[in-house]
Amino acid sequence: IDVEAAWARGIHVVDTTNGSSYPVSEWALGMILVSLRNAGFYMRRFLAGHCRKTRDNPGYLNGELTGKRVGLIGCGHAGRRLVELLRPFKVDISVYDPYLAREVAEILDLSVTSLEKILAESDAIVCLAPLTPRTEGMIGRSEMELIPSGAVLVNVSRGPIIDSAALMERLKRGDIIAGLDVFEQEPVDSDNPLLKMDNVVVTPHSLCHTDEFYK
């Protein structure tokens, strides 16, 4: 946008660069926490009338965030805010972002690495990358195979970055947990199997809609 030209014509220009960064980063942290505990399993079980405690929950016994390895795919405004929120948990943070300036990574004390290492060496993987022709389908079958058993995969950016068929195949094994606020097709069909899986926590692409966001 040619801001000076807009001003000359009396057109108001508002910078919303950081508008959603805070609510998105906060819910990304929330998704990490509930995914590590596999809260989707308990929610579905509880709503079905099974109200007694059980340890029959994949991932729960390894469910604390403190001291874990967290890998961020994309480190823009929301990613940098999430880094701040993660610090009290004493986590080891690694980032894949080919556009992240070296100086920014040094200031934030981030370990910059490859996408493959993020997927293969993280306990919690968080997708924060924008959807572009380069990132669409960036995480497919071969990338899904890199994720270790017991890890959680959180996507709070855009659904098409992760190949939905590959995601479904991996989740059916039951050895990883996903926290999803976005989907390849939206709105999500009520028959989408992801909505019914015990190792998936879902929200309807709504994490940035807070009162503060609209002010």
Residues marked as catalytic: 158, 186, 205
Residues 115 and 87 sit within 8 Å (Cβ to Cβ): no
Q: Which residues neighbour 1 within 8 Å (Cβ) at sequence distance 6 or greater?
A: 13
Q: Which residues neighbour 2 within 8 Å (Cβ) at sequence distance 6 or greater?
A: none
- Nearest to residue 139, comparing CAs of 165, 175, 112, 109? 165
The Cα–Cα gap between 7 and 174 comes to: 55
- Sheet strand arrangement including 177-180: 111-112, 92-96, 69-73, 124-127, 152-155, 177-180, 200-202
Q: Which residues neighbour 189 within 8 Å (Cβ) at sequence distance 6 or greater?
A: none
Residues 93 and 86 sit within 8 Å (Cβ to Cβ): yes
- Nearest to residue 116, comparing CAs of 91, 92, 87, 145? 145
